[in-house]
Every structure is written in C-alpha cells, then in structure tokens.
Chains A and B, each alone.
Chain A
Amino acid sequence: MDRNESLPPEIELAQLLQKCAARDSAAFRVLYDRTSPILFARLLRMLRRRSVAEEALQEVYVRIWERAAQYEAHRGRALAWMVTIARYCAIDLMRRERMTLVGDDALAEVADESTAEPGAFEKPNHFDDCIGQLSENTQQCLTLAFVEGRSHDEIARLTSNPLGSVKSWIRRGLISLKDCLSAERQTA
C-alpha cells in the first residue's frame, strides 16, 4: 500500500506555499482545500471543542499566509511545517480557553480514537526503534504532550503519576531520543 496515498504530494504543497509567499491568493485557496481537513482533524484532536478548533483553523491559515515566505522549500516537509504551525497555535489557544481535562473520561476518549492511516507522515530514520527503547511511561507522557497538547500537570493527573516523575520522564526521554536518533544516524 502506498502509505502516502491519502496525503497531498509534498512537492505540490511546497509549490503552493511558494506561490502564497508571492501573494497568490488562488494558490492559497488550493492549499487550503488540500490541507484544511488534515489540519482541522489535528486541531480537533488537541482542542476537542469544535468551535475552538474552527477558530484555531482560521488563525492557522492566517499565519500560514503571513509566514509563507519563511517556509524554506529546500527543507521539504511542507505539510509538517503547516502541522507545526497548527500545533503551536492550538497550544496558544488552550491557554486562552483555560482548557482543563475533567476526570479520566478524556483519557478514555483518547484511547478510543483510532488512527485511520498509520504511518501517513514520514518519520525520521530509526524513530520507531529509538522511541521503543523508552519506558512505557515515558512514551505515554511524550504522546500525551505532543499529540494531545497536554501540559505536565494534566499528564500527571491523567496518568495518576506524581508531577515530578512526569517531568523527569519527559526530560530524560527527550535526551534519550535525541542521543539515540543521532547515534543511529551515525551508524546507519
């Protein structure tokens, strides 16, 4: 199976972003049509509330249009660049909306969500090996932070672990991941 079949080709997105940088609003519309269902799904995953995710999506595309000139085409990864803008925007909005999780329902909801297209995003080389070397707890903390946008406090509450442990798992996990990825790159 072509694992990228459901995603727009990177090269096309990169070209569209370059046109946006040249203030081509027709290209911006095409870019929006191609990518907004992906970014909206991602924002919903973090923000949960539809109305807030809609507001965030608007803000995300305003930022994309304004920052299109900062996208460096030679680095590729156009969709990843856009998803990153969406993630940061969601984190900013969470603070404003003072979103907090109520009880453990939210975790159950997270577990229930099935991922439809495994591996659709390209991972760095050896990523799965390196993440697999981390403890279950660490992996869970990193995922809750990155995928769900949860704060240290929220992760501690959701996983019923002490805040100090959560912070140190995350901190050490990040260092281990970095070391492992750079070691694998050198030996590859």
Chain B
Amino acid sequence: MKSSNRELVDRLAAEYVLGTLRGRARRRFERWLVSPQVRGIVNDWELRLSGLEPSLQKVAPPTKVWQGIENRLDLAGSRRSTRRWLAVAASVLAVAMVGLFMLRTPPLAATARATIEADPQTIYWNVELLGDSKNPAQELTVQARSPHPLESGKAHELWILPAQGNPVSLGLLPASGRQHLVLTAAQRQALAGAKQLAVSLEPAGGSPTGLPTGPVIHVAPLTTA
C-alpha cells in the first residue's frame, strides 16, 4: 500500500471504528475490509479505542429476543440443513442490508395491507407494505399474531402473486414478533399491480427452488391502505 493510501485508510479506519464514518462512506469502507491489510488497520483501531468502552450496569433482555434468534437461525430445526440455510439467510440478509442503506429520508407510510387469517377471530400475520407516493412498495413489515401451527422442520414462506408470472418470495414468516424487510428490486416489481399474497408450507429455511414447493395454505388479498 502506498503511504498516502495508508494514511487515508488509517484515517477512515479510525472514524469507522469510532462510529463517525456514516452512511455511504461507511458502506464503501466496509467493502475494503476484505483486504487483510485494511482489516489489520481496523483491528488496531478497535484495540486502541476499546479504552473508551464504558462499564454499564447489565440489563437482562426479554426472553422473546432469544426466541427470535432461535427462529432466525433455525437452531431447533434439523441440523443437516442448518448450514445450507444459514448461507441462504446470510445472502438474503446481505440483500436486505444493501436495500436498507439506500433508504431515503422522508418517513414511509403504509401503502397496502394483507391479513393472513383462518377467520377474522384467528389472525396469524398482519403484513404491511411501506412506501411513499412515488414508490408505494419499498419496505415490508410482518407482525405475527396468533401462532400458526407448524410441524418441526417446516417453515411458512410468504409469496407475492404478481399480476403476471411466477410467485416471488418475500421470505419466511416469523413465528412470533415483528419482521421488517427492505424490498429488493425484483420484489418491488412483482408487487406492482399484485392483488394477492400467499403462504406456502416449505422445508425449514425456505423453498430450495425459489418457487413454492409445498402446499399453498393461505391466499390473502392485498388491499391499498
């Protein structure tokens, strides 16, 4: 590394670790972390600045946090498939994160909703699309309500039924809690003009093919908010 580059990297690494390198600059710098040299410079700063670490009174988190982790990582599910699905989860997460950082400043509002239910008294999930007048489908939140029966080793996957073409996955539905997702370009496109969402029963970790492989157990209308 040239000495001028090294100085720049050192300065950026310091502000990255301190936390003042933000937004796009932070994202760009993170891409450099694959370089062992840059990684080393960051490690040095992490060590230096660790002296600023405060000592805080511990705070026990609520138990639902662990349940969420267990669900997301499928720790209770079948071991053999765990690794494979972790890789899938990681790449889905990466896509979601990339989408996340492209967020615009004005707050988003609910633009469409779907209720996945057995009957109005038994609502399993509330799905909300968030966006603005220009891009009505930018993000998605799913709130789990009544627990949906599910045999072990299986998962519920949410799908867009587009106006034309094959279903497009919106990911796995959470067993509990709230899930928030930044939509990919493909998902946004599929949502344009879509009138329905569907839920299929898939192997833990989700459909291995990218299309529903198990039975479709719910179809819900997507209504404009």
Contact = CB atoms under 8 A, between A and B. Distances in A.
Interface of A: 6, 23, 25, 28-29, 32, 36-38, 40-42, 44-45, 54-55, 57-58, 61-62, 65-66, 75, 77, 80, 83-84, 87, 91-92, 95-96, 98, 113, 115-124, 127-128, 131, 142-143, 145-147, 149-152, 170-171, 174, 177-178, 181
Contacts of B64: 54
Contact of A181 (B48, B53, B66, B75): B48
Contacts of B75: 25, 28
Nearest to B49: A146
A123 B48 CA distance: 8
B134 to A, nearest CB: 18
- Across the A-B interface, the 10 shortest Cβ-Cβ residue pairs: A127-B51, A37-B58, A116-B57, A120-B55, A123-B51, A41-B56, A117-B55, A146-B52, A40-B61, A174-B14
B48 A178 contact: yes
A143 B52 contact: yes
B52 A147 contact: yes
Given A44-B59, A92-B100, A124-B51, 4 more contacts: A37-B59, A45-B54, A116-B55, A170-B18
B37 interface: no
Contacts of A151: 20, 22
Contacts of B14: 174, 178
A116 B69 CA distance: 28
A23 B180 CA distance: 26
Given A37-B61, A80-B50, A23 B83 contact: yes
A147 B18 CA distance: 9
A25 B71 CA distance: 12
Interface in B32-86: 43, 46-62, 64-66, 68-69, 72-73, 75, 79, 82-83, 86
Contacts of B55: 115-121
Tell me whether chain B's interface is mostly helix, strand or loop, or mixed: helix
A149 B19 contact: yes
Given A36-B65, A54-B64, A170 B53 contact: no
6 contacts: A37-B60, A40-B59, A87-B19, A115-B57, A116-B55, A146-B49
Interface of B: 10-11, 14-15, 18-20, 22-23, 26, 43, 46-62, 64-66, 68-69, 72-73, 75, 79, 82-83, 86, 90, 93, 97, 100-101, 103, 105, 107, 180
Contacts of B97: 92
A54 B58 contact: no
B50 A54 contact: no
A116 B66 CA distance: 25
A89 B171 CA distance: 22
Contact of A174 (B15, B26, B51, B54): B15
Tell me whether chain A's interface is mostly helix, strand or loop, or mixed: helix
Contacts of A28: 75
Contacts of B50: 77, 80, 121-124
Contacts of B26: 91
A143 to B, nearest CB: 6
A180 to B, nearest CB: 10
A149 B57 CA distance: 18
A115 to B, nearest CB: 5
Given A23-B82, A66-B90, A145-B19, A115 B54 contact: yes
A57 B61 contact: yes
Contacts of A54: 61-62, 64-65
Contacts of A58: 65, 68-69, 72
A121 B180 CA distance: 34
B105 A41 contact: no
